[in-house]
Amino acid sequence: MEVSSFFHADTGTWTHVVVEGRDAVLIDPVLDFDARSAVASTRSADALLQWLRERQLTVHWLLETHAHADHISAGAYLKKQLGAALAIGAGIVAVQQQFADVIKLDARELTVFDRLLKDGDELPANAFSVTVIATPGHTADSLCYRIGQHAFIGDTLFAPDVGSARCDFPGGSATQLFASMQKILQLPDDTLLHLCHDYPVNGRAPRSSTTVLEQRRSNIHIGSDRPASDYIALRQTRDAGLAVPVLFWPSIICNLRGGELPAADAQDVRYLNIPLNYFGPH
C-alpha cells in the first residue's frame, strides 16, 4: 500500500491518495479559489487527475474528513470526472441544517453525497477497505479514515508543533474534540496520522503526517497526558481570539453541496451570495 500526498500551498491543505495495486481512494481534494479576484479553477484537481490517469488507477471513493470552512472541495468536480462515490460523515446533515436557511440550501442539495458515514462503517475499495472512526469536535461531521497502519485524521489534530483544530464554529465542541483526540491516540504507536492541514512554524517544511507516539509525547496542546479540563480551557481561550477564515463563506456555500459551485445564470455567470453580519452586529 502506498500513500501519496499533495500540498495545496494557498490553503495549507493536504490531499491524500491511498493506492493498492490499481485501486485507490482519494481524501480531501481541493478546488482553487482566489478570494481577491473571485476566480475559481480546477488547476490543482486537474493535475491530480493527470497523476491518477498516468497510473491507470481506479478511484473507488472520494472521502471528505469534514465540511471544510477554509477551502473549497473539489469533490463534486472529481466525482464527475472519475465516477467515484462521494462520502462524508453523517453529521453533515446537522451542519447543513444549521446553514440551510442562511445559504438557501434546497432539499435536493441536502442529498448531494452518495453516502453518509457513521462510526464503524467499512468502505470496500476492492484491494483494501477503509474503516470509519467518528471524531466530532472541530465540526459535527468530522471523521477519521483508517486504512491498515494509516489514519487520515482531518482537522482533529495538527502537527505536534501546531496543536489542534478550533472548535468555535456552529456545532463545534472542545469537549468532544478532546474525546476524539483520545480515540486517535489509542491507536498503535506506529500508526501514521495523515494531516488535512499544516501551517509550518519556524520556517520548517510542510508536514503531511506524524505518528501516534509523536503526538502523544509532544503535541503542544495535548501531549504528555494533558488533562481534559486544561485542554478545554486552552482551546476555548485560543478560539475566542481567532478570526473567521478568509474563505469561510465560499467554503461553506460550496462544501455543504459537496463542493458544487453555485449554478450559472442565463449569462453563464455564477454568484456567491454571502450573508452579512452573521458573525457580528445585525
Q: What is the pLDDT of residue 282?
A: 64
Q: Domain boundaries in the chain?
A: 2-255
The Cα diameter of the chain in Å comes to 58
User: Residue 80: its pLDDT value, please?
Assistant: 97
- pLDDT-derived band of residue 107, with 50, 70 and 90 as boundaries? confident
127 vs 108: CA distance, rounded Å: 33
**Average per-residue pLDDT for the chain:** 96
pLDDT, tens digit, 9 for 90 and up, residues 150-179: 999 999 999 999 999 999 998 999 999 999
In this structure, whether the domain defined by 2-255 belongs to CATH 3.60.15.10 is answered with yes
Give the DSSP H/E element, type plus range, for residue 193.
strand 192-194
